Protein backbone atom coordinates (compact mmCIF):
# COMPACT_ATOMS: atom_id res chain seq x y z
CA UNK A 1 0.00 0.00 0.00
CA UNK A 2 1.26 3.48 -0.81
CA UNK A 3 1.34 5.55 2.33
CA UNK A 4 -0.38 8.86 1.91
CA UNK A 5 -1.16 11.03 4.88
CA UNK A 6 -2.69 14.43 5.30
CA UNK A 7 -2.38 17.18 7.87
CA UNK A 8 -5.70 18.99 7.76
CA UNK A 9 -5.79 22.24 9.73
CA UNK A 10 -8.53 24.82 9.36
CA UNK A 11 -6.93 28.16 8.47
CA UNK A 12 -8.75 29.94 11.26
CA UNK A 13 -5.71 30.70 13.40
CA UNK A 14 -2.00 30.16 13.85
CA UNK A 15 -0.53 26.69 14.31
CA UNK A 16 0.47 25.88 17.88
CA UNK A 17 2.50 23.08 19.40
CA UNK A 18 -0.54 20.78 19.49
CA UNK A 19 -1.10 21.12 15.73
CA UNK A 20 2.61 20.90 15.10
CA UNK A 21 2.74 17.54 16.83
CA UNK A 22 0.02 16.14 14.57
CA UNK A 23 1.73 17.58 11.48
CA UNK A 24 5.10 16.20 12.54
CA UNK A 25 3.82 12.71 13.32
CA UNK A 26 2.10 12.59 9.92
CA UNK A 27 5.24 13.80 8.21
CA UNK A 28 7.52 11.36 10.05
CA UNK A 29 5.19 8.49 9.31
CA UNK A 30 5.05 9.34 5.61
CA UNK A 31 8.80 9.79 5.28
CA UNK A 32 9.55 6.69 7.27
CA UNK A 33 7.35 4.59 4.98
CA UNK A 34 8.34 6.16 1.69
CA UNK A 35 4.95 7.83 1.52
CA UNK A 36 3.52 11.22 0.70
CA UNK A 37 2.63 14.08 3.00
CA UNK A 38 -0.24 16.36 2.05
CA UNK A 39 -1.33 19.65 3.53
CA UNK A 40 -5.08 19.87 3.27
CA UNK A 41 -6.66 23.15 4.22
CA UNK A 42 -10.08 22.56 5.76
CA UNK A 43 -11.38 25.93 4.67
CA UNK A 44 -15.04 25.34 3.82
CA UNK A 45 -16.07 27.76 6.55
CA UNK A 46 -15.68 30.95 4.57
CA UNK A 47 -16.35 33.29 7.45
CA UNK A 48 -13.72 31.91 9.77
CA UNK A 49 -11.07 30.81 7.25
CA UNK A 50 -8.55 33.53 6.35
CA UNK A 51 -6.03 33.46 3.50
CA UNK A 52 -3.39 34.96 5.79
CA UNK A 53 -3.68 31.97 8.11
CA UNK A 54 -3.32 29.59 5.15
CA UNK A 55 -0.09 31.41 4.25
CA UNK A 56 1.08 31.34 7.87
CA UNK A 57 0.43 27.58 8.10
CA UNK A 58 2.58 26.90 5.04
CA UNK A 59 5.33 29.16 6.39
CA UNK A 60 5.26 27.50 9.78
CA UNK A 61 5.50 24.03 8.23
CA UNK A 62 8.44 25.25 6.13
CA UNK A 63 10.08 26.61 9.24
CA UNK A 64 9.74 23.23 10.97
CA UNK A 65 11.17 21.64 7.82
CA UNK A 66 8.05 19.58 7.09
CA UNK A 67 8.20 19.57 3.34
CA UNK A 68 4.90 18.96 1.60
CA UNK A 69 4.38 16.72 -1.41
CA UNK A 70 0.94 18.13 -2.13
CA UNK A 71 -1.40 20.86 -0.98
CA UNK A 72 -5.16 20.77 -1.34
CA UNK A 73 -7.80 23.24 -0.28
CA UNK A 74 -11.37 22.19 0.41
CA UNK A 75 -12.63 25.52 -0.91
CA UNK A 76 -11.49 24.35 -4.37
CA UNK A 77 -13.57 21.22 -4.11
CA UNK A 78 -17.14 22.34 -3.39
CA UNK A 79 -18.32 20.67 -6.62
CA UNK A 80 -16.99 17.33 -5.36
CA UNK A 81 -18.97 17.64 -2.13
CA UNK A 82 -22.14 18.40 -4.10
CA UNK A 83 -21.65 15.29 -6.19
CA UNK A 84 -21.02 13.26 -3.04
CA UNK A 85 -24.21 14.56 -1.43
CA UNK A 86 -26.18 13.59 -4.51
CA UNK A 87 -24.66 10.14 -4.45
CA UNK A 88 -25.62 9.69 -0.80
CA UNK A 89 -29.12 11.02 -1.48
CA UNK A 90 -29.60 8.60 -4.35
CA UNK A 91 -28.39 5.70 -2.20
CA UNK A 92 -30.86 6.69 0.53
CA UNK A 93 -28.02 7.51 2.93
CA UNK A 94 -28.65 11.27 3.12
CA UNK A 95 -32.02 12.61 4.28
CA UNK A 96 -33.43 16.10 4.68
CA UNK A 97 -34.21 17.45 8.14
CA UNK A 98 -36.03 20.64 9.06
CA UNK A 99 -35.58 21.08 12.80
CA UNK A 100 -34.37 24.49 13.90
CA UNK A 101 -31.40 24.69 16.29
CA UNK A 102 -33.87 25.57 19.09
CA UNK A 103 -35.97 22.48 18.38
CA UNK A 104 -32.85 20.31 18.42
CA UNK A 105 -31.72 21.79 21.73
CA UNK A 106 -35.13 21.07 23.20
CA UNK A 107 -34.94 17.46 22.05
CA UNK A 108 -31.53 17.06 23.64
CA UNK A 109 -32.78 18.55 26.89
CA UNK A 110 -35.72 16.15 27.01
CA UNK A 111 -33.42 13.20 26.40
CA UNK A 112 -31.05 14.39 29.10
CA UNK A 113 -33.96 14.82 31.54
CA UNK A 114 -34.95 11.19 31.05
CA UNK A 115 -31.33 10.09 31.38
CA UNK A 116 -30.86 9.21 27.73
CA UNK A 117 -27.87 10.02 25.51
CA UNK A 118 -28.38 12.96 23.12
CA UNK A 119 -28.87 10.87 20.00
CA UNK A 120 -30.95 12.37 17.19
CA UNK A 121 -34.35 10.62 17.05
CA UNK A 122 -34.59 10.51 13.23
CA UNK A 123 -37.99 12.22 13.34
CA UNK A 124 -37.28 13.66 9.89
CA UNK A 125 -37.32 10.14 8.41
CA UNK A 126 -41.03 9.95 9.26
CA UNK A 127 -41.95 13.07 7.33
CA UNK A 128 -44.22 12.46 4.35
CA UNK A 129 -43.82 14.27 1.04
CA UNK A 130 -46.76 16.46 2.06
CA UNK A 131 -45.10 17.30 5.42
CA UNK A 132 -41.89 18.33 3.65
CA UNK A 133 -43.78 20.38 1.10
CA UNK A 134 -45.62 22.16 3.91
CA UNK A 135 -42.38 22.87 5.79
CA UNK A 136 -40.75 24.25 2.65
CA UNK A 137 -43.81 26.33 1.88
CA UNK A 138 -43.49 27.84 5.35
CA UNK A 139 -39.98 28.96 4.40
CA UNK A 140 -37.86 26.21 5.96
CA UNK A 141 -34.89 24.83 4.08
CA UNK A 142 -33.53 21.37 4.80
CA UNK A 143 -30.20 20.45 6.25
CA UNK A 144 -28.98 16.96 5.43
CA UNK A 145 -28.03 14.12 7.70
CA UNK A 146 -26.17 10.93 6.89
CA UNK A 147 -28.15 7.82 7.84
CA UNK A 148 -25.89 5.57 9.88
CA UNK A 149 -26.26 1.82 9.80
CA UNK A 150 -27.05 0.53 13.26
CA UNK A 151 -24.35 -2.09 13.47
CA UNK A 152 -20.94 -2.44 15.05
CA UNK A 153 -18.19 -0.11 13.85
CA UNK A 154 -14.77 -1.50 14.63
CA UNK A 155 -11.24 -0.56 13.71
CA UNK A 156 -7.76 -1.30 14.90
CA UNK A 157 -6.40 2.09 15.86
CA UNK A 158 -2.64 2.43 15.47
CA UNK A 159 -2.45 4.23 18.81
CA UNK A 160 -5.54 3.14 20.77
CA UNK A 161 -5.72 -0.48 19.67
CA UNK A 162 -9.17 -1.97 18.96
CA UNK A 163 -11.91 0.68 18.98
CA UNK A 164 -15.58 -0.25 18.98
CA UNK A 165 -18.71 1.85 18.48
CA UNK A 166 -22.31 1.00 17.75
CA UNK A 167 -24.16 2.98 15.10
CA UNK A 168 -27.27 3.15 17.29
CA UNK A 169 -25.34 5.09 19.95
CA UNK A 170 -24.44 7.85 17.51
CA UNK A 171 -26.48 10.69 16.03
CA UNK A 172 -26.83 10.68 12.29
CA UNK A 173 -24.36 13.47 11.52
CA UNK A 174 -25.38 16.64 9.73
CA UNK A 175 -23.34 16.68 6.52
CA UNK A 176 -24.77 19.70 4.69
CA UNK A 177 -26.10 22.84 6.31
CA UNK A 178 -29.39 24.51 5.54
CA UNK A 179 -27.52 27.08 3.41
CA UNK A 180 -25.95 24.30 1.36
CA UNK A 181 -22.50 24.43 2.99
CA UNK A 182 -20.95 20.94 3.27
CA UNK A 183 -19.69 20.20 6.77
CA UNK A 184 -16.30 18.80 7.70
CA UNK A 185 -17.69 15.31 8.30
CA UNK A 186 -18.62 15.04 4.65
CA UNK A 187 -15.83 17.03 3.00
CA UNK A 188 -13.16 15.20 4.98
CA UNK A 189 -14.46 11.80 3.87
CA UNK A 190 -14.81 12.86 0.24
CA UNK A 191 -11.21 14.08 0.27
CA UNK A 192 -9.85 11.07 2.11
CA UNK A 193 -11.42 8.84 -0.55
CA UNK A 194 -10.68 10.93 -3.65
CA UNK A 195 -7.20 11.99 -2.61
CA UNK A 196 -6.40 8.36 -1.71
CA UNK A 197 -5.43 8.91 1.91
CA UNK A 198 -4.13 5.68 3.39
CA UNK A 199 -3.51 6.74 7.00
CA UNK A 200 -5.62 9.21 8.93
CA UNK A 201 -3.44 10.40 11.82
CA UNK A 202 -5.08 13.04 14.00
CA UNK A 203 -6.03 14.07 17.50
CA UNK A 204 -8.11 11.88 19.75
CA UNK A 205 -10.86 14.51 19.71
CA UNK A 206 -11.76 12.91 16.37
CA UNK A 207 -12.32 9.33 17.55
CA UNK A 208 -16.12 9.57 17.42
CA UNK A 209 -15.86 11.29 14.03
CA UNK A 210 -13.97 8.29 12.74
CA UNK A 211 -16.82 5.97 13.75
CA UNK A 212 -19.15 8.02 11.57
CA UNK A 213 -16.64 8.62 8.81
CA UNK A 214 -15.91 4.92 8.40
CA UNK A 215 -19.52 4.51 7.26
CA UNK A 216 -19.52 7.63 5.09
CA UNK A 217 -16.31 6.55 3.35
CA UNK A 218 -17.89 3.19 2.61
CA UNK A 219 -21.10 4.79 1.33
CA UNK A 220 -18.98 6.94 -1.00
CA UNK A 221 -17.40 3.84 -2.50
CA UNK A 222 -14.18 3.97 -0.49
CA UNK A 223 -12.68 1.12 1.46
CA UNK A 224 -12.35 2.03 5.14
CA UNK A 225 -10.95 -1.42 5.92
CA UNK A 226 -8.05 -0.55 3.64
CA UNK A 227 -7.39 2.67 5.58
CA UNK A 228 -5.57 2.98 8.87
CA UNK A 229 -6.52 5.33 11.68
CA UNK A 230 -4.37 6.68 14.48
CA UNK A 231 -5.69 9.01 17.17
CA UNK A 232 -3.09 10.74 19.28
CA UNK A 233 -3.93 11.97 22.77
CA UNK A 234 -3.91 15.74 23.03
CA UNK A 235 -1.19 17.62 24.87
CA UNK A 236 -1.95 18.78 28.40
CA UNK A 237 -0.24 21.22 30.75
CA UNK A 238 1.60 20.38 33.97
CA UNK A 239 -1.72 20.11 35.85
CA UNK A 240 -3.14 17.75 33.26
CA UNK A 241 -5.46 20.37 31.73
CA UNK A 242 -5.90 21.00 28.03
CA UNK A 243 -3.54 23.59 26.59
CA UNK A 244 -6.29 25.62 24.95
CA UNK A 245 -5.89 28.73 27.10
CA UNK A 246 -2.17 28.95 26.60
CA UNK A 247 -2.12 28.16 22.92
CA UNK A 248 -1.57 31.78 21.88
CA UNK A 249 1.81 31.87 23.57
CA UNK A 250 2.56 28.40 22.23
CA UNK A 251 1.98 29.29 18.60
CA UNK A 252 4.87 28.41 16.34
CA UNK A 253 5.05 32.10 15.45
CA UNK A 254 5.54 33.10 19.07
CA UNK A 255 8.13 30.38 19.69
CA UNK A 256 10.02 31.41 16.58
CA UNK A 257 10.06 35.02 17.73
CA UNK A 258 11.43 33.84 21.07
CA UNK A 259 14.36 32.25 19.25
CA UNK A 260 13.33 28.64 19.76
CA UNK A 261 14.90 26.27 17.25
CA UNK A 262 12.50 24.34 15.02
CA UNK A 263 14.44 21.14 15.69
CA UNK A 264 13.97 21.64 19.43
CA UNK A 265 10.20 21.66 18.83
CA UNK A 266 10.44 18.68 16.49
CA UNK A 267 12.55 16.58 18.86
CA UNK A 268 10.37 17.30 21.84
CA UNK A 269 7.09 16.72 20.02
CA UNK A 270 8.23 13.52 18.34
CA UNK A 271 9.10 11.82 21.60
CA UNK A 272 6.72 13.44 24.06
CA UNK A 273 4.18 10.81 25.10
CA UNK A 274 6.12 7.91 23.63
CA UNK A 275 8.01 5.15 25.37
CA UNK A 276 11.25 6.59 23.92
CA UNK A 277 13.50 8.96 25.80
CA UNK A 278 13.37 12.56 24.66
CA UNK A 279 16.63 13.39 22.95
CA UNK A 280 17.63 16.24 20.71
CA UNK A 281 18.13 15.27 17.08
CA UNK A 282 20.34 17.28 14.75
CA UNK A 283 17.90 17.12 11.87
CA UNK A 284 14.68 15.53 10.64
CA UNK A 285 16.28 12.49 8.94
CA UNK A 286 17.83 11.57 12.28
CA UNK A 287 14.49 12.04 14.00
CA UNK A 288 12.78 9.96 11.36
CA UNK A 289 15.09 7.02 11.85
CA UNK A 290 14.22 6.99 15.55
CA UNK A 291 10.49 7.64 15.41
CA UNK A 292 7.97 4.83 15.67
CA UNK A 293 4.22 5.46 15.79
CA UNK A 294 3.75 2.18 17.64
CA UNK A 295 5.52 3.71 20.65
CA UNK A 296 3.07 6.61 21.01
CA UNK A 297 1.21 5.99 24.25
CA UNK A 298 -2.47 6.58 25.00
CA UNK A 299 -1.70 8.78 27.98
CA UNK A 300 -2.01 12.52 27.27
CA UNK A 301 1.53 13.90 27.13
CA UNK A 302 2.43 16.84 29.34
CA UNK A 303 3.86 19.78 27.49
CA UNK A 304 6.17 21.85 29.65
CA UNK A 305 7.62 25.07 28.19
CA UNK A 306 10.64 24.65 30.50
CA UNK A 307 11.36 21.35 28.80
CA UNK A 308 11.29 23.11 25.45
CA UNK A 309 13.83 25.61 26.80
CA UNK A 310 16.14 22.79 27.83
CA UNK A 311 15.60 21.07 24.53
CA UNK A 312 16.62 24.27 22.77
CA UNK A 313 20.01 24.23 24.47
CA UNK A 314 20.48 20.55 23.73
CA UNK A 315 19.51 21.10 20.11
CA UNK A 316 22.18 23.78 19.73
CA UNK A 317 24.64 21.37 21.24
CA UNK A 318 23.99 18.61 18.69
CA UNK A 319 23.61 20.90 15.68
CA UNK A 320 25.91 19.95 12.82
CA UNK A 321 28.63 22.41 11.82
CA UNK A 322 27.42 22.30 8.23
CA UNK A 323 24.08 23.69 9.44
CA UNK A 324 25.65 26.21 11.76
CA UNK A 325 28.16 27.72 9.34
CA UNK A 326 25.66 29.33 6.95
CA UNK A 327 23.76 30.82 9.87
CA UNK A 328 26.87 32.39 11.33
CA UNK A 329 27.79 33.71 7.90
CA UNK A 330 24.28 35.11 7.50
CA UNK A 331 24.71 36.94 10.82
CA UNK A 332 27.92 38.45 9.51
CA UNK A 333 30.08 36.49 11.96
CA UNK A 334 32.62 35.74 9.27
CA UNK A 335 35.60 34.78 11.41
CA UNK A 336 33.77 32.12 13.40
CA UNK A 337 35.09 28.66 12.61
CA UNK A 338 34.24 25.24 13.90
CA UNK A 339 36.54 25.55 16.94
CA UNK A 340 34.63 28.66 17.98
CA UNK A 341 31.29 26.89 17.61
CA UNK A 342 32.45 23.89 19.58
CA UNK A 343 33.77 26.13 22.32
CA UNK A 344 30.56 28.12 22.78
CA UNK A 345 27.64 25.86 21.77
CA UNK A 346 27.29 24.28 25.21
CA UNK A 347 26.65 27.71 26.75
CA UNK A 348 23.90 28.87 24.45
CA UNK A 349 20.24 28.95 25.35
CA UNK A 350 19.47 30.68 22.04
CA UNK A 351 21.40 30.71 18.81
CA UNK A 352 21.47 34.52 18.84
CA UNK A 353 23.59 34.50 22.00
CA UNK A 354 26.45 33.43 19.77
CA UNK A 355 26.93 37.14 19.02
CA UNK A 356 28.11 37.79 22.54
CA UNK A 357 30.78 35.08 22.38
CA UNK A 358 31.77 36.21 18.93
CA UNK A 359 32.48 39.64 20.36
CA UNK A 360 34.49 38.01 23.15
CA UNK A 361 36.62 36.05 20.67
CA UNK A 362 36.84 38.30 17.64
CA UNK A 363 35.41 41.66 18.54
CA UNK A 364 35.58 44.05 21.41
CA UNK A 365 34.20 43.84 24.94
CA UNK A 366 34.41 45.90 28.09
CA UNK A 367 36.57 43.94 30.56
CA UNK A 368 35.59 43.78 34.22
CA UNK A 369 38.71 44.32 36.30
CA UNK A 370 39.48 43.45 39.88
CA UNK A 371 42.72 42.47 41.69
CA UNK A 372 45.01 44.74 39.56
CA UNK A 373 48.14 43.13 40.94
CA UNK A 374 47.06 39.73 39.66
CA UNK A 375 46.12 41.13 36.26
CA UNK A 376 49.46 42.91 35.81
CA UNK A 377 51.40 39.73 36.59
CA UNK A 378 49.07 37.70 34.38
CA UNK A 379 49.67 40.09 31.46
CA UNK A 380 53.45 39.83 31.96
CA UNK A 381 53.29 36.07 31.97
CA UNK A 382 51.18 35.72 28.80
CA UNK A 383 53.05 33.23 26.62
CA UNK A 384 54.11 33.96 23.06
CA UNK A 385 51.89 32.90 20.17
CA UNK A 386 50.90 30.48 18.78
CA UNK A 387 48.32 29.56 21.38
CA UNK A 388 46.56 26.24 21.60
CA UNK A 389 44.32 24.21 23.89
CA UNK A 390 47.11 23.83 26.47
CA UNK A 391 47.92 27.53 26.77
CA UNK A 392 45.34 28.39 29.42
CA UNK A 393 46.55 25.64 31.77
CA UNK A 394 50.23 26.49 31.39
CA UNK A 395 49.59 30.21 31.80
CA UNK A 396 47.32 30.00 34.85
CA UNK A 397 49.73 27.58 36.53
CA UNK A 398 52.49 30.14 36.07
CA UNK A 399 50.26 33.03 37.24
CA UNK A 400 49.18 31.01 40.28
CA UNK A 401 52.78 30.25 41.22
CA UNK A 402 53.86 33.88 40.83
CA UNK A 403 50.92 35.43 42.75
CA UNK A 404 49.99 32.76 45.26
CA UNK A 405 46.37 32.99 44.05
CA UNK A 406 44.46 29.80 43.47
CA UNK A 407 40.96 28.53 42.77
CA UNK A 408 38.30 31.18 42.45
CA UNK A 409 40.70 33.99 43.47
CA UNK A 410 42.81 33.11 40.48
CA UNK A 411 40.25 32.19 37.85
CA UNK A 412 37.44 34.66 38.43
CA UNK A 413 39.42 37.89 37.86
CA UNK A 414 40.97 36.37 34.75
CA UNK A 415 37.62 35.29 33.36
CA UNK A 416 36.04 38.66 34.14
CA UNK A 417 38.86 40.55 32.50
CA UNK A 418 38.99 38.33 29.43
CA UNK A 419 35.27 37.88 28.80
CA UNK A 420 33.53 40.61 30.78
CA UNK A 421 31.32 38.07 32.58
CA UNK A 422 31.41 35.47 35.33
CA UNK A 423 30.29 32.46 33.40
CA UNK A 424 30.78 30.95 30.01
CA UNK A 425 32.62 28.39 27.92
CA UNK A 426 35.89 26.81 29.02
CA UNK A 427 38.62 29.43 28.94
CA UNK A 428 40.99 26.76 27.67
CA UNK A 429 38.91 26.78 24.47
CA UNK A 430 38.30 30.52 24.33
CA UNK A 431 41.81 31.81 25.02
CA UNK A 432 43.38 30.73 21.71
CA UNK A 433 40.44 32.37 19.90
CA UNK A 434 40.77 35.61 21.90
CA UNK A 435 44.48 35.72 21.05
CA UNK A 436 47.40 37.63 22.63
CA UNK A 437 46.55 41.19 21.52
CA UNK A 438 43.01 41.22 22.91
CA UNK A 439 44.03 39.31 26.03
CA UNK A 440 46.80 41.78 26.84
CA UNK A 441 44.58 44.81 26.33
CA UNK A 442 41.73 43.40 28.43
CA UNK A 443 44.05 42.44 31.29
CA UNK A 444 45.13 46.05 31.43
CA UNK A 445 41.50 47.17 31.60
CA UNK A 446 41.09 48.36 28.04
CA UNK A 447 38.07 47.58 25.89
CA UNK A 448 39.26 45.31 23.11
N1 LIG B 1 -9.80 20.30 10.23
C2 LIG B 1 -9.84 19.23 11.21
C3 LIG B 1 -9.15 19.70 12.46
O4 LIG B 1 -8.36 20.62 12.39
C5 LIG B 1 -9.14 18.04 10.61
C6 LIG B 1 -9.21 16.79 11.37
C7 LIG B 1 -8.76 15.65 10.50
O8 LIG B 1 -7.54 15.42 10.46
O9 LIG B 1 -9.58 15.04 9.87
O10 LIG B 1 -9.40 19.21 13.54
pLDDT per position as a tens digit, 316-353: 999 999 999 999 999 999 999 999 999 999 999 999 99
C-alpha 195/C-alpha 198 separation (Å) is 9
Q: How much of the chain is helix, strand and coil, in % rounded to 5?
A: 50, 10, 35
Q: What predicted TM-score, i.e. pTM, was given to this entire model?
A: 0.94
pLDDT (0 to 100) of residue 54? 98
Residue 323 backbone dihedrals phi, psi, to 5 degrees: -85, -25
Angle between helices 372-380 and 391-403 (to 10 degrees): 130
Counting ligand 1 atoms within 8 A of each CB, the residue from 11, 202, 207, 229 with the most, and so the one to mutate, is 202
Other CB atoms within a 10 A radius of the CB of residue 442 amount to 27
**Separation of CA 233 and ligand 1 centre (Å):** 14
Cβ atoms within 10 Å, residue 394 = 13
Contact 148, 216 (CB under 8 A): no
Helix axes 305-318, 262-271, angle to 10 degrees: 120
**Contact in structure between 190 and 220 (CB atoms under 8 Å):** yes
Ligand 1 binding pocket includes 13 (Cβ within 6 Å): no
Residue 166 has a pLDDT of 97
Q: Which residues of the chain have pLDDT under 50?
A: none
Residue with the smallest CA separation from ligand 1 atom 4 is: 9
What is the whole-number distance in angstroms between the Cα of residue 66 and the centre of ligand 1? 18
Q: For ligand 1, what atom is nearest to the CA of residue 22? A: 8
Please tell me if the CB atom of residue 355 comes closer than 6 angstroms to any atom of ligand 1: no
Say if ligand 1 is within 6 A of residue 367 CB: no
* pLDDT score recorded for residue 247: 73
Ligand 1 atom with least separation from CA of 7: 8
Does residue 8 line the site of ligand 1, with CB under 6 A?
yes
The pLDDT of residue 249: 77
pLDDT of residue 246: 73
Residue 17 parent element (H or E): helix 17-32
45 C-beta closer than 6 A to ligand 1: no
Residue having the nearest C-alpha atom to atom 7 of ligand 1: 8
The pLDDT value given to residue 62: 98
For residue 37, is it left (φ>0), alpha (ψ between -120 and 50) or beta?
A: beta
Rg (CA), the chain: 31
- How many angstroms separate the alpha carbon of residue 212 from the centre of ligand 1? 14
Amino acid sequence: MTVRVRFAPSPTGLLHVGNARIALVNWLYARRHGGRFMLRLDDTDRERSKPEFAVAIAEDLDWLGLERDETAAQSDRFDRYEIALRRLQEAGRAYPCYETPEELTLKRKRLAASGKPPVYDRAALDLSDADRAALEASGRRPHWRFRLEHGEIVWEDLVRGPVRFHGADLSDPVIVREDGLPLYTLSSCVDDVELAVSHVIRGEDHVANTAVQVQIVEALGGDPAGMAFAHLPLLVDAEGRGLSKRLGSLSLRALREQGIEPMAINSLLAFLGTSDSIEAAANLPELMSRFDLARVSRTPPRFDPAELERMNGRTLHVMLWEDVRPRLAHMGLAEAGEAFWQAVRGNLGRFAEVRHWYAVCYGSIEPVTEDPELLVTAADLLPDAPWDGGTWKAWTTAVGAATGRKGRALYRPLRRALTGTDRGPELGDLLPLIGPARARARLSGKAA
